[in-house]
């Protein structure tokens, strides 16, 4: 009985530790909610697909011993610090691995503002110079509805 409870607890903990894997449209909509520009959101989605496979829990250890973490694969060498907030983003690296991407998004935008998309090898390899990124937003987000205009009659005959 105790073994069964321990096994269930271990499975539950493993499930809770797993990150969220976004769909393309879900990711697009989430990035727009986080303030990413509609004109660049296709590049961000392409970058995330190529870097993390849209998985918030992805970790990759680099040859230099640093880690690339989370949805945006932000590198621990320069942008965050393990155990305590630090790096240029002033955040804990562990926070890049949870499902709350608010701080991840802010850090990714900081990386982009300082270095550009070329900070990510996945973007350079998979997204740079391709038309694919520009089609993502239009496929996942409905076009804004046109403004209602007053009819001639309503303008003059109140």
Question: Residues with catalytic annotation?
Answer: 51
Nearest to 19, CA basis, from 90, 104, 91: 104
Beta bridge partners of 32: none
Nearest to 136, CA basis, from 59, 37, 8, 34: 37
Q: Which helix (H) or strand (E) holds 74?
A: strand 74-75
User: In whole angstroms, what is the distance from residue 150 CA to residue 102 CA?
Assistant: 40
| Alpha-carbon torsion, ordered 31, 34, 40, 44, to 10 deg | -40
């Amino acid at each position: 009985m105790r073994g069964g409870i321990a096994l269930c607890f271990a499975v539950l903990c493993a499930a809770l530790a797993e990150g969220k894997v976004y769909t393309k449209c879900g990711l697009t909509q989430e990035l727009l909610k986080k303030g990413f520009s509609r004109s660049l959101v296709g590049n961000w989605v392409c970058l995330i697909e190529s870097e993390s496979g849209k998985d918030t829990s992805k970790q990759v250890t680099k040859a230099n011993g640093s880690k690339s973490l989370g949805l945006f694969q932000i590198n621990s060498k320069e942008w965050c610090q393990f155990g305590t907030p630090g790096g240029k983003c002033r955040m804990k690296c562990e926070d890049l691995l949870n499902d709350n991407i608010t701080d991840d998004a802010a850090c990714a935008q900081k990386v982009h503002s300082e270095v550009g998309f070329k900070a990510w090898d996945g973007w350079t390899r998979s997204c740079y110079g391709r038309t694919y990124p520009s089609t993502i937003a239009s496929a996942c987000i409905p076009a804004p509805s046109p403004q209602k205009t007053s009819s001639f009659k309503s303008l003059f005959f109140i």
